[in-house]
């Protein structure tokens, strides 16, 4: 819903478009949906329809199997919008990749439709190739071009050098390279958005427990926190070894004490040496230890919550959580969402989010 005064009641029924047109029959027979997305991209959608009804001139039968409705087929392009009908927002855009007919006893038959977003082709394409002397931006652009995606990117000037994609899917390789530099990728509309996690901007909203936040679990955990990450390597140009240490900066939203601060205060500082990682230069090693430290630091405090349905709650958005006391009330970065709808519970959004800061 849009910012500003919120309506006490609004129509939460999602609307489905098939191949560019609103599908009246599908919307009427829709019983459940679940849209899932996480860091690393590739959102998925599951739609469940009642597959029984009156077909004009033919009586009572299964409309999706009778030929009376031909839209929801394999390869169909779906667009799902949700939220207040006065301000609907796109929740999913993708391609139907699976169909399932479910018929059991006296229960009405159902049609289950499975779809994935535009990264689906990158998930399927597996190959081996070499990328020589490239930046991360070059690598992302090359893979996006292979799959007809327009890239919106920022902060991807890190030198990758020469990298080998060895019997990996394009999506798996892209995820591996982005994770190495603490970069996330998501499909937004028909674009591939790629940026360092601390620079991702997919909007912000507030949720208070007892209001639109109906359930929440919050955890501050020192188990994976470190004071510093180090890495050793060999510089062939200078013919000498080196060691680098992380600097924990750009930790994302929130305020309070970091995991490293709490660790030093209540236990002991903890340094961790990086595993067997091949690097070509000191600069690459520094980028890797910084990314590793940031990734661990950002997950010092995590929350799992359920809110009344809101299409603004997406991976990469920031959510200000209140009503849970000063230690855990903070601004969190959303890392996973599941948007659910059924005819009994209505529209709910389950999410996971993380913050590098603790108020205690």
Per-residue pLDDT of 53-105, as tens digits, reads 766 655 567 788 776 566 789 999 999 999 877 778 999 999 999 999 999 88
pLDDT attached to residue 64: 82
Report the pLDDT averaged over residues 131-135: 92
pLDDT attached to residue 54: 67
How far apart CA 355 and CA 100 sit, in angstroms, is 39
pLDDT attached to residue 10: 61
* Residues 6+ away with beta carbon under 8 Å from 50: 29, 31, 108, 109, 110
Per-residue pLDDT of 283-305, as tens digits, reads 888 988 999 999 999 999 999 99
Low-confidence winner among 78-82, 250-254, 272-276, 291-295 (lowest mean pLDDT): 272-276
Per-chain mean pLDDT for the chain: 91
* Residues 6+ away with beta carbon under 8 Å from 294: 182, 197, 198, 248, 249, 250, 251
CB 262 within 8 A of CB 221: no
Query: Is the per-residue pLDDT at 241 higher than 50?
Result: yes
Query: Is the per-residue pLDDT at 330 higher than 70?
Result: yes
Per-residue pLDDT of 178-223, as tens digits, reads 999 999 999 998 899 999 999 998 999 999 999 999 999 999 999 9
Architecture of the 121-196 domain: 3-Layer(bab) Sandwich (3.55)
pLDDT attached to residue 67: 65
pLDDT attached to residue 235: 84
Per-residue pLDDT of 1-46, as tens digits, reads 444 455 555 667 899 999 999 998 899 999 999 999 999 999 999 9
Every domain of the chain and the residues it spans: 15-117, 121-196, 204-358
């Amino acid at each position: 819903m849009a910012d500003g005064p919120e309506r006490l009641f609004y129509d939460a029924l999602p609307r489905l478009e098939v191949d560019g047109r609103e599908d009246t029959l599908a919307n009427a027979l829709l019983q459940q949906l679940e849209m899932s997305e996480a860091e690393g991209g590739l959102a998925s959608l599951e739609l469940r329809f009642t597959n029984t009804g009156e077909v004009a001139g033919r009586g009572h039968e299964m409309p999706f199997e009778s030929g009376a409705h031909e839209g929801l087929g394999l390869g169909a392009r779906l667009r799902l919008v949700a939220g207040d009908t006065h301000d609907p927002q796109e929740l999913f855009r993708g391609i139907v990749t699976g169909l399932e007919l479910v018929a059991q006893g006296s229960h009405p038959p159902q049609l289950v439709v499975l779809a994935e977003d535009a990264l689906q082709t990158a998930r399927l394409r597996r190959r081996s190739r070499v990328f020589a002397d490239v930046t991360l931006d070059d690598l992302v652009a090359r893979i996006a071009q292979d799959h007809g995606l327009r890239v919106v990117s920022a902060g991807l000037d890190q030198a990758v050098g020469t990298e080998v994609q060895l019997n990996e899917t394009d999506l798996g390789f892209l995820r591996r390279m982005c994770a190495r530099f603490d970069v996330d990728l998501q499909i937004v509309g028909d674009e591939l958005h790629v940026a360092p996690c601390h620079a991702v901007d997919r909007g912000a909203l507030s949720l208070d427990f007892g209001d639109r936040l109906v359930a929440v679990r919050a955890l501050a955990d020192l188990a994976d926190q470190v004071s510093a990450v180090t890495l050793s390597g060999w510089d062939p140009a200078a013919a000498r070894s080196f060691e680098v240490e992380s600097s924990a900066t750009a930790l994302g939203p929130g305020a309070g004490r970091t995991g490293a601060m709490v660790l030093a205060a209540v236990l002991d500082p903890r340094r961790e040496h990086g595993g067997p990682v091949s690097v070509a230069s000191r600069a690459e090693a520094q980028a890797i230890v910084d990314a590793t430290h940031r990734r661990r630091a950002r997950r010092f405090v995590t929350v799992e919550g359920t809110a009344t349905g809101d299409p603004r709650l997406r991976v990469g958005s920031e959510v200000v959580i209140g009503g849970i006391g000063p230690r855990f009330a903070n601004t969190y970065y959303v890392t996973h969402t599941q948007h659910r709808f059924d005819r009994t519970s209505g529209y709910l959004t389950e999410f996971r989010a993380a913050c590098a800061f603790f108020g205690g």
